[in-house]
């Protein structure tokens, strides 16, 4: 099995470590894949410098796996560091360097990028971390190309993600790359999270929180639109479905969503195209028509703006076992 070593350390929170252990250690998938249904799943090991570490909040965790096992793993996950202003443990740095020399996949979540940077594995590479830590990381490690914007950066064998929740996106991305879109979507459904947020999606956008709608008509209109994405939908169509005037609809929609109806509709059409690109044999032109774009050119334009890649490139990266 593919061994995933997750670092545990004194003073850690359970979230970053737990999300990686949850995604790579789902029991049902371990059983399914060990039965030979598909490629082997992951074997998870919690590794620490000492046998017992204390979690934030007072709990303790005991593990029989140390840094030697971390250095020997196929994938190494550094969920975070206790304090970005503290020196990274020399023993951890040595273990990371040893794993790097072996060709292991190295993954960081949030401030875990500081440990990878200290080991030198990010030198000359693009990397990300939580936007709050980006300036400090750039000052300390000038040879690392810090990208403050994306949720995660995939350099092939070295991957870094932004804040804690972005670790979910990166771990799911790794599953998608290892086992295909269908398996990653299955994991996402089990965890009740979005099956795909592109790495290039912004970490942080300064925007006001929308106010709740006055009634359920906006939600009903949005539900109707989602059921009719394959047909032309105009602003007047949406307003009519909500039994509102055009002006009142625009005002209420912005109040409910913080967006405009057309922008929201385009976003939903692009999202609806993802499973078709992942698991069907439809051409890009056919997918474009299925989700209601007027032309393939318009589809590609909005797809690139939203996903930061082309439909064809997305398909080549994320298509699993296709079916007619």
pLDDT at site 311: 93
- Residue found by looking up tokens 């789902």 in the block: 26
Tokens 């209601």 -> residue: 292
- 26 and 63 in a single domain? The answer is yes
What pLDDT is recorded for position 227?
93
In a domain, 208, yes or no: no
Residue 204 lies in a domain: no
Q: Are residues 106 and 164 in the same domain?
A: yes
| pLDDT at residue number 192 | 80
Both 146 and 239 in one domain: the answer is no
56 and 151: one domain? yes
Tell me how far apart the alpha carbons of residues 296 and 284 are, in angstroms, rounded to a whole number.
Answer: 7
Contact by Cβ (8 Å): 224, 259: no
Distance CA 233, CA 262 (A): 9
Position 323 in a domain? no
- Residue that has been written with the tokens 């690392």 in this structure: 144
pLDDT value of residue 315 = 87
Q: Tell me, yes or no, whether 64 and 144 share the same domain.
A: yes
Same structural domain, 184 and 238: no
Number of separate domains in the chain: 2
Query: In this structure, are 187 and 235 located in the same domain?
Result: no
**Could you tell me the two tokens for 50?**
């000492």
Q: Strand 75-78 relative to strand 105-108: parallel, antiparallel, unpaired? A: parallel
The pLDDT of residue 137 is 97
pTM attached to this predicted model: 0.70
- Residues facing residue 145 across a β-bridge: 126
Residue closest to 88 by CA, chosen among 110, 112, 65: 112
The ranges of the chain with pLDDT < 70 are 30-39, 194-215, 318-324
What tokens appear for 27 in the block?
């029991």
Q: How far apart are CA 214 and CA 251, in angstroms?
A: 11
- Does 324 fall in a domain? no
Domain containing residue 230: CATH number: 1.10.10.60
**Measured between alpha carbons, how far is 80 from 12 in angstroms, rounded to an integer?**
8
In a domain, 168, yes or no: yes
181 and 307 housed in the same domain: no
* In a shared domain, residues 25 and 160: yes
User: Is 26 domain-assigned?
Assistant: yes
Residue 202 lies inside a defined structural domain of this protein: no
* Domain boundary, last residue among 174, 191, 208: 191
The one-character DSSP state at 65 is: B
- Output the DSSP codes for 175-207: HHHHH-HHHHHHHHHHHTS-S---TTSBS----
CATH code of the domain in which 81 resides: 3.40.50.880
The whole-angstrom separation of Cα 122 and Cα 127 is 7
Per-residue model confidence (pLDDT) at position 320: 52
Residues 154 and 250 in one domain: no
Is 307 found in the same domain as 229?
A: yes
Residue with tokens 């750039």: 138
One domain for residues 55 and 170: yes
Q: Look up the domain containing 277 and give its range.
A: 217-317
């Amino acid at each position: 099995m593919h061994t995933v070593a997750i670092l545990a350390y004194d003073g850690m929170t359970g979230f970053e470590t737990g999300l990686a252990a949850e995604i790579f250690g789902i029991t049902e998938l371990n059983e399914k894949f060990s039965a030979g249904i598909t490629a082997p799943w992951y074997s998870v090991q919690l590794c620490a410098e000492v046998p017992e570490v204390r979690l934030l909040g007072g709990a303790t965790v005991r593990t029989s796996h140390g840094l030697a096992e971390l250095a020997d793993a196929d994938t190494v996950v550094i969920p975070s560091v206790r304090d970005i202003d503290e020196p990274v443990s020399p023993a951890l740095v040595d273990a990371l360097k040893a794993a790097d020399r072996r060709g292991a996949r190295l993954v960081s979540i949030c401030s875990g990028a500081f440990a990878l940077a200290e080991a030198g594995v990010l030198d000359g590479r693009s990397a990300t971390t939580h936007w709050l830590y980006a300036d400090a990381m750039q000052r300390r490690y000038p040879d690392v190309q810090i990208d403050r914007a994306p949720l995660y950066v995939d350099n092939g064998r070295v991957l870094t993600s932004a804040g804690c929740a972005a670790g979910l996106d990166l771990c799911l991305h790794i599953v998608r790359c290892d086992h295909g879109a269908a398996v990653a979507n299955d994991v996402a459904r089990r965890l009740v999270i979005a099956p795909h947020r592109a790495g290039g999606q912004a970490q942080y956008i300064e925007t006001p929180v929308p106010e709740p709608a006055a009634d359920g008509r906006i939600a009903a209109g949005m539900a109707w639109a989602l059921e009719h994405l394959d047909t032309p939908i105009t602003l007047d169509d949406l307003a009519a479905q909500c039994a509102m005037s055009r002006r009142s609809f625009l005002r209420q929609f912005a109040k409910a969503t913080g967006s405009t109806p057309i922008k929201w509709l385009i976003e939903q059409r692009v999202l609806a195209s993802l499973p078709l690109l992942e698991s069907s044999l439809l051409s890009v032109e056919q997918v474009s028509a299925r989700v209601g774009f007027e032309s393939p050119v318009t589809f590609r334009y909005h797809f690139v703006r939203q996903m930061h890649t082309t439909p064809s490139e997305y398909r080549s990266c994320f298509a699993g076992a296709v079916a007619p």
